[in-house]
Structure 1
Amino acid sequence: MTNNFKNNPPKARVWYIFSALLVTLLLGSCSVKNVVYFKDLPQDTLKVMKAAAAFSEPVIQSDDLLSITVQTLDPTTSSIANQTEAVQAVGASSASNVGNQVISGFLVDKNGFVHMTLLGKVKVAGLTTYQARELITEKAQEFYRDPTVQVRFANYKITVLGEVTRPATYTVPNEKVTVLDALGLAGDMTIYGQRENVLLIREENGQKAMVRLNLADSDLFQSPYYYLRQNDVIYVEPGKAKAATNNAARTQTFAIIGSALSLLIVLITRWR
């Protein structure tokens, strides 16, 4: 094969070298180093974080859907207070069921109230679920003896988009959700996702806040954005390897054209 290469005309050799370099660049465009999380952590020693990110409980807002249950010694009477309406959460998914979900709960109206049978209107906007539970328990004691009340978000949604296995809006069962939890629900990033430049979109005080997160750095655990809030959106941008993949057809076309030109040059050279 070496002798054949040496015997080829100079122009043909150039095309062979160009083709070899093109293949090498395509194969080497995606480094293993670029798909590793927290690559700053030492492999043979233990690193202890000085201070983890603080978690703050989310507060209830208008249009939230709450799961509220009142339990008493007589389940027949408590079922009256637990009557809810089914609401379809468009685009919401769970880890095992991707698609629209019908969720039952108490909808917080524009004025921040939930309307409960027998208990009446209860203002819960601005409260945490713990504070709302204490307030509803207080009101329930007017009608029931020793009631037990549970309050949690029924539509605590996180949206994950971009280079992940299952992009969707996910309804999570608890309020303490991290960036890693959200990516886990979405089946993790694909090999093409940029781990050093993950975009977090959050609505704060009626404005959109956008933050860049570096999942290749362990300082993420100390970030105030490590814990997510309701309606947060995570967008994983594609890297250069994705662009190369999308252009595979074009690259293949160029390779065919290059090969055809090389063959044409060889034929013309030999014909002369």
Structure 2
Amino acid sequence: MKKTCFPVSLSFTVIILFLMCSCANTKKIKYFQDMSEANTATPLALASYTEPIIQPDDILAINVNTTDPAATVSINSRNGVYVNSSNPNSGSANPLAGYLVSKEGDVEVPVLGKIKLAGLTTVQARAAVREKAVKSFNDPVVDVRFTNFKVTVLGEVNHPAAYILPNEQVTLLDAIGYAGDMTIYGRRSNVLLIRKQPDGRSFSVKLDMTKKETLNSPYFYLKQNDVVYVEPLKTKVLNNDNNLIKYITLAATVVSAIILAKRYW
């Protein structure tokens, strides 16, 4: 009797079709799908940037350069120094260095004394510190920055971590870029942003990275301590199922058995 490999080939066909169904659609991994693909400059409506507000428990680098070397060293000695690094998990050389904003919203600066900074932007804080400094020094040069401007990126990204950034003007795209971009299993249409408000309450909002309207969202620019979570596609959940291979094998076996039964029954 002539043998046939039809049951085997059909079994492989079932397996291939099953795997194809579990593959991620390339359309699901493309950003801003409704943006024009024409090779011309396209005007974009970007969200307006709002400077972050200093809050209690923030840590600030306060630098004051004066004509008095001893005073300058005393004031600036608590500040960390930012470095550029190729390591995606590093943000600053000493992220905890600086002046802690108290629960009352003050910082205690050597020589200058207590200064109220909570509720101010860093630009306004520089003016407040300089107002104190000019009482003791001529033409002081003042700089105030966040040293704990932290954004946490979790979920389906290549390098999930908490990132401490020297730059206050951070976008959602920047954060995803620091985390090494989303994986192919990241659900770009449903990115969750969790933000803590100054009153201590938190809220969440979902952003669709496949739509260009996200570029104009009031949440496109991030605030300190924001958390970005990239949800996985159902495809990954399916592919990570420990029983997947068993299901495929069982399906192929059943199909082969049915065909053999029909042939020889």
Asked whether the equivalents of residues 52 and 221 of structure 1 are also in contact (C-alpha less than 8 Å), the reply is yes
Asked whether the equivalents of residues 92 and 165 of structure 2 are also in contact (C-alpha less than 8 Å), the reply is no
The two structures have a TM-score, normalised by structure 1, of: 0.83
Counterpart in 2 of 1:39?
33
Counterpart in 2 of 1:109?
102
1:74 is displaced (CA, Å) by 3.9
Counterpart in 2 of 1:207?
201
Alignment partner of 1:169 is 2:162: yes
Asked whether the equivalents of residues 157 and 182 of structure 2 are also in contact (C-alpha less than 8 Å), the reply is yes
Alignment partner of 1:242 is 2:236: yes
Alignment partner of 1:133 is 2:126: yes
Q: Which amino acid in structure 1 is aligned with residue 20 of structure 2?
A: T
Cα deviation, 1:94-150, whole Å, max 9, x if unaligned, reads 735389955210001111110111111111111111111111111111222211010
Q: Which amino acid in structure 2 is aligned with residue 57 of structure 1?
A: E
Counterpart in 2 of 1:4?
4
Distance 1:271 1:4 in 2: 12
Cα deviation, 1:175-221, whole Å, max 9, x if unaligned, reads 11100000001111000001011011112233222111011011111
Asked whether the equivalents of residues 194 and 202 of structure 2 are also in contact (C-alpha less than 8 Å), the reply is yes
1:180 aligned counterpart, secondary structure: helix
Asked whether the equivalents of residues 190 and 208 of structure 2 are also in contact (C-alpha less than 8 Å), the reply is yes
Asked whether the equivalents of residues 83 and 116 of structure 1 are also in contact (C-alpha less than 8 Å), the reply is no
Distance 1:68 1:160 in 2: 28
User: What is the RMSD computed on CA atoms of the aligned residues?
Assistant: 2.8
Distance 1:85 1:30 in 2: 47
Counterpart in 2 of 1:147?
140
* 5+ long unaligned stretches in structure 1: 87-93
Distance 1:68 1:97 in 2: 21
Alignment partner of 1:75 is 2:69: yes
1:255 aligned counterpart, secondary structure: helix
Worse-matched range after superposition: 74-83 or 120-129: 74-83
Aligned pair partner of 1:158 in 147, 151, 154: 151
Aligned pair partner of 1:24 in 20, 25, 28: 20
Q: 1:71 to 1:213 in 2, by over 3 A?
A: same
Q: Which amino acid in structure 2 is aligned with residue 48 of structure 1?
A: P
Cα deviation, 1:220-268, whole Å, max 9, x if unaligned, reads 1111111111111110000022112212x42211222334445556776
Q: 1:41 to 1:265 in 2, by over 3 A?
A: closer
Asked whether the equivalents of residues 82 and 116 of structure 1 are also in contact (C-alpha less than 8 Å), the reply is no
Larger strand proportion of the pair? 1
Q: 1:245 to 1:216 in 2, by over 3 A?
A: same
Counterpart in 2 of 1:91?
none
The two structures have a TM-score, normalised by structure 2, of: 0.85
Distance 1:259 1:117 in 2: 76
Distance 1:146 1:221 in 2: 41
Number of residues of Structure 1 aligned to a counterpart in Structure 2 = 255
* 5+ long unaligned stretches in structure 2: 81-86
Aligned pair partner of 1:59 in 53, 62, 81: 53
* Identity fraction in percent: 41
Distance 1:172 1:233 in 2: 14
Counterpart in 1 of 2:246?
253
Distance 2:93 2:77 in 1: 22
Counterpart in 2 of 1:90?
none
Distance 1:84 1:142 in 2: 22
Asked whether the equivalents of residues 200 and 211 of structure 1 are also in contact (C-alpha less than 8 Å), the reply is yes
Runs of 4+ in 1 over 6 A off after TM superposition: 266-271
